[in-house]
């Protein structure tokens, strides 16, 4: 009898847990829907202490282990903040960086119980696609997939941003090729992941730059569905105080995106020209009005925390959270919002994918994309080299070696170069920097007919026994062929298309954009060579 009662109690408990799960969100055409078919609009708030611009750089204390605080790993903070988010009418938060090794169970449960979903960026400040030295490599791919593995466990996760304002002006648009490659590969990873059995989207959050706003929106939604974003986030701050659809330019945004084929929403909004305390949130009323809901699926207010940038809704001091002057006006506008909804079964999408933008002075990203990071291929290549970096060589010294070799023997660097404008990519341009260095060292050593003094570099390199693993031979031969073509190519070579990557090892098939010797977009060659161009022939005795 006791066992029967215990079984019934456990079943009741299990039922309550299942019942508490929020309905997964999915996309159809340019709309979001609950699983039951009701249209979903975002009433969002950015929820993370300032971590720096997603596409730029950030400074931090030398003794700091991380340059960010994971907002979903602090149960006490979530207990303090989630009730206030719920009071605002929030149904989505955006996080900019989470620690995939942390435990998020408590915060995700609190959010779920409050009816709040999550959209999270995949990068973190010290490991992201940097607009000034863009690359998409095995280290980044590992970070992105780790975040997906961790957050996809929760039904209240809508999706991820592969980048945030990475290309933010016409002089760094080549970086978008690397972000779009990240979109392609993370989408394929989700699709082929046996542990994920529902829709989870991958998108991009762009700033509103007049020189590239049309090109970048077209670029991320052109060519094929497999390579393109599942949703488009727009960081826009053009409606300030008392304004209008026309004065703010919102009417033009509606017009531009009216035929877009995926959901569009404001990934950040909330102009603070006169300080956060003066925000009246008139734009929130517009966002959920008939003027905009035919095209936009809501938005995410920037931001919850009050910090030096003065965008906060709440001031946090220890365990105490105090609502600021702009909190109640936002709450009022969200409460008033009653956007019209569609039923998914009745909705007939009419949007179409865009044409990829042509290369111009304002747009320098080729539609051919970088290769998919392939750790197995990089490992095979590194093991097959005879001249390699010493195991204890600091990454701070990589630049000297890259700088000397790529200047003295440009052909030795072809295999690691990446040029997002021409679409020429070396087969190993997606490897981590130490693997790239092994390739360059060995290529130079070979070009010098394996002279004894050609593998030293003031003690940075050493000779090793090359491992000729038969399982690697086919992939290495294919990579060699790509690099031969890249050496003389003026059009797309060596990039990749979406391939099933699942959760295991793979040899990716390469074939899209990279390699000008001094390309600022490539970290290993671009950054290291800019640092090391002055290195003289004293690096190695020839």
Cα distances (angstroms) measured from residue 2 to each of 6, 10, 15: 6, 12, 20
Q: Which residues are catalytic?
A: 165, 268
Interhelix angle 105-113/75-87, nearest 10 degrees? 20
Are the C-beta atoms of residues 299 and 287 closer than 8 Å to each other?
Answer: yes
- Tokens 């179409």 correspond to 352
Interhelix angle 375-383/473-486, nearest 10 degrees? 90
Give yes or no for a cis peptide into 329 (omega within 30° of 0): no
Greatest Cα pair distance in the chain: 88
- Tokens 């991958």 correspond to 202
- Tokens 């050609």 correspond to 454
- DSSP per-residue codes, 91-160: -EEEES---TTS--HHHHHHHHHTT-EEEEES-BTTBS--TTS----HHHHHHHHHHHHHHTTSTTEEEE
Query: Would you put residue 165 in left (φ > 0), alpha (ψ -120 to 50) or beta?
Result: left
Return the DSSP state at 354: B
40 bridge partner residues: 32
Are the C-beta atoms of residues 92 and 42 closer than 8 Å to each other?
Answer: yes
Three-class secondary structure of residue 140 per DSSP: helix
């Amino acid at each position: 009898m006791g066992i029967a009662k215990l079984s019934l109690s456990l079943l009741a408990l299990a039922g309550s847990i299942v019942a508490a799960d929020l309905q997964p969100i999915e996309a159809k055409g340019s709309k979001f829907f609950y699983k039951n078919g009701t249209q979903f609009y975002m009433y969002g708030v950015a929820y993370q202490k300032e971590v720096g611009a997603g596409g730029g750089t950030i400074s931090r204390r030398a003794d700091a282990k991380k340059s960010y605080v994971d907002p979903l790993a602090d149960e006490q903070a979530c207990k303090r903040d989630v009730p206030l988010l719920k009071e605002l009418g929030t149904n989505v938060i955006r996080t900019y960086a989470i620690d995939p090794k942390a435990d998020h169970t408590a915060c995700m449960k609190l959010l779920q119980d409050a009816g709040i979903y999550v959209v999270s960026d995949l990068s973190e400040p010290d490991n992201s696609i940097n607009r000034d030295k863009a690359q998409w490599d095995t280290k980044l791919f590992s970070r992105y997939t780790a975040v997906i593995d961790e957050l996809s466990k929760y039904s209240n996760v809508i999706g991820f941003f592969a980048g945030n304002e990475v290309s933010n002006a016409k002089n760094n648009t080549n970086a978008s090729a690397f972000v779009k490659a990240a979109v392609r590969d993370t989408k394929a990873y989700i699709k082929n992941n046996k542990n994920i059995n529902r829709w989870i989207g991958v998108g991009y959050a762009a700033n509103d730059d007049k020189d590239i706003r049309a090109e970048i929106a077209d670029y991320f939604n052109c060519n094929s569905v497999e390579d393109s974003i599942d949703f488009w986030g727009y960081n826009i701050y053009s409606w300030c105080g008392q304004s209008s659809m026309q004065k703010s330019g919102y009417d033009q945004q509606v017009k531009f995106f009216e035929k877009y084929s995926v959901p569009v929403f404001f990934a950040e909004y909330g102009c603070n020209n006169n300080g956060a305390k003066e925000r009246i949130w008139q734009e929130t009323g517009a966002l959920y009005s008939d003027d905009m809901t035919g095209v936009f699926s809501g938005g995410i207010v920037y931001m919850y925390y009050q910090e030096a940038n003065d965008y906060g809704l709440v001031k946090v001091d220890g365990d105490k959270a105090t609502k600021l002057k702009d909190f109640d006006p936002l709450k009022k506008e969200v409460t008033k919002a009653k956007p019209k909804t569609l039923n998914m079964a009745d909705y007939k999408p009419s949007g179409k994918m865009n044409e990829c933008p042509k290369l111009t002075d304002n747009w320098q990203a080729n539609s051919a994309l970088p290769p998919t990071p392939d750790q197995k291929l990089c490992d095979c290549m590194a093991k097959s080299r005879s001249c390699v970096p010493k195991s204890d060589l600091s990454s701070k010294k990589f630049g000297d070696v890259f700088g000397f070799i790529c200047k003295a023997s440009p052909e030795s660097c072809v295999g690691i170069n990446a040029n997002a404008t021409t679409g020429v990519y070396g087969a190993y341009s997606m490897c981590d920097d130490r693997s790239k260095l092994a390739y360059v060292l060995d290529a130079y050593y070979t070009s010098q007919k394996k002279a004894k003094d050609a593998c030293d570099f003031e003690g940075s390199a050493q000779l090793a026994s090359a491992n000729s693993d038969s399982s690697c031979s086919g992939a290495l031969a294919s990579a060699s062929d790509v690099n031969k073509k890249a050496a003389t190519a003026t059009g797309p070579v060596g990039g990749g298309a979406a391939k099933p990557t699942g959760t295991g090892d793979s040899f990716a098939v390469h074939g899209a954009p990279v390699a000008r010797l001094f390309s600022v977009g490539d970290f290993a060659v671009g950054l290291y060579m800019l640092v090391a161009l002055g290195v003289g022939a004293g690096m190695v005795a020839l």
